[in-house]
Amino acid sequence: MKSILSSLFALSLLSLSSAHAQCHFPAIFNFGDSNSDTGGLSAAFGQAGPPHGSSFFGSPAGRYCDGRLVIDFIAESLGLPYLSAFLDSVGSNFSHGANFATAGSPIRALNSTLRQSGFSPFSLDVQFVQFSNFHNRSQTVRSRGGVYTTMLPEADSFSQALYTFDIGQNDLTAAYFANKTVEQIGTTDVPEIISQFKNAVTYIYAQGGRYFWIHNTGPIGCLAYVIEWFPLKASDFDSHGCVSPLNHLAQQFNDALKQAVIELRASLSEAAITYVDVYSAKHELFVHAQGHGFKRSLVACCGHGGKYNYNKNIGCGKKVTVRGKEIYIGKPCDEPDKAVIWDGVHFTQAANKFIFDKIAAGLRMACHRQ
């Protein structure tokens, strides 16, 4: 039955592709958190040091990962350069878009600082303001000619670009870390968070954005940093070692997000909005890791100690000096390409490639109203 459904899905994609021309996007404007941050938080608060970036870039590249993120694979597939972080003033080129995501960003602004809570002050409303300023100022500066024409996007790029979103995870975990129950978060917080998300998309549409690619959130109950935060009962865990109530919360958020996308399609008459189910791809990795060539799923590749090789006080890349010599305590595993989770919070490059491969077909149709 599964193979028959897969064949039918492939045939439906083929028929859609033959009915519509393949999409071309000259630029990407991304909004999100650490799942798609290509250097924003590093530019604002200090570089994510080694061994981040070691599997692909050879050195830290602003990503909380050993290599590329899903957004990097999206850029590659569209024939575009990797996105420069809007906040990064060194070596950036914005001719094919900009990345407004920063690690720790929520949709809804939090009444705390980065050092107090670990969450970024660059919430989605702030990212929109940054985009709006960039939209206007980039064209003013580009009109000066010269080198600016090679570093800033053309005016038409804003209406033809793909607007990508991967955000919401931090809203759920922030509420959970604040001792709210899963029921409280689902009933009270999620509707407000989704409302603010809809506002952001509507504002971007008003500025000319037409093509939206919206990721849902992943199974947060499978991430070590969430599992380890509070003591949990054995009955909270499913057969794969993930926390069922937290994964159900993520699914509740995703159901609300999917409904919001339906409403946005109805209200934004010229928009093509794609709802992207990364939850299923990520959950598949945790449930059937070995079947996809991975050796470890819940256990972090880079970290220190405990059941999950994760300690919030000894993060990936943590060093200490012993007898005048620096040594890693939060050190990486020997085979990051065989691990799903990089540091107890984020996915490895290999996992990100798996996730991208599961959603890539939709990019061919992302400029068409569904």
- Return the active site residues: 34, 343, 346
Cα 149 from Cα 74, distance rounded (Å): 24
Residue with tokens 């999100």: 32
Contact call for residues 166 and 70 (beta carbons, < 8 A): yes
- Please write down the HEC assignment for all residues of the chain: CHHHHHHHHHHHHHHHHHHCCCCCCCCEEEEECCCCCCCHHHHHHCCCCCCCCCCCCCCCCCCCCCCCCHHHHHHHHCCCCCCCECCCCCCCCCCCEEECCCCCCCCCCCCCCHHHHCCCCCCHHHHHHHHHHHHHHHHHHHCCCCCHHHHCCCCCHHHHCEEEEECCHHHHHHHHHCCCCHHHHHHHHHHHHHHHHHHHHHHHHHCCCCEEEEECCCCHHHCHHHHCCCCCCHHHECCCCCEHHHHHHHHHHHHHHHHHHHHHHHHCCCCEEEEECHHHHHHHHHHCCHHHCCCECCCCCCECCCCCCCCCCCCCCCEEEECCEEEECCECCCCHHHECECCCCCECHHHHHHHHHHHHHHHHHCCCCC
